[in-house]
């Protein structure tokens, strides 16, 4: 079973490998779908993985 922790780990590992924020294009379609199914929209997924600060709405 694919868990939230696994999705976070995938994002963090890819970020460490690339030395930057991972983009959707850095993953295959199946991995993107699995990450988004556990963590939500891409920006929210990056926030959940601690890779991006949450944006503040005014």
Residues 19-28 have pLDDT tens digits of: 999 999 999 9
- Asked whether 14 and 7 are in contact (CB, 8 A), the reply is no
Query: What are the boundaries of each domain within the chain?
Result: 4-48
Measured at the CA of 38, the angle between CA 36 and CA 39, to 5 degrees, comes to 65
Q: Is it the case that residue 57 has pLDDT exceeding 80?
A: no
* CA gap 57, 53 in Å, rounded: 12
Residues 22-53 have pLDDT tens digits of: 999 999 999 999 999 999 999 999 999 999 98
């Amino acid at each position: 079973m694919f868990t939230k922790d696994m999705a976070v780990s995938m994002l963090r590992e890819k970020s460490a490998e690339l030395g930057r924020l991972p983009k959707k294009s850095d993953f295959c379609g199946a991995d993107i779908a699995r990450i988004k199914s556990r963590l939500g929209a891409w920006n929210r997924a990056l926030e959940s993985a601690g890779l991006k600060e949450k944006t503040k709405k005014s």
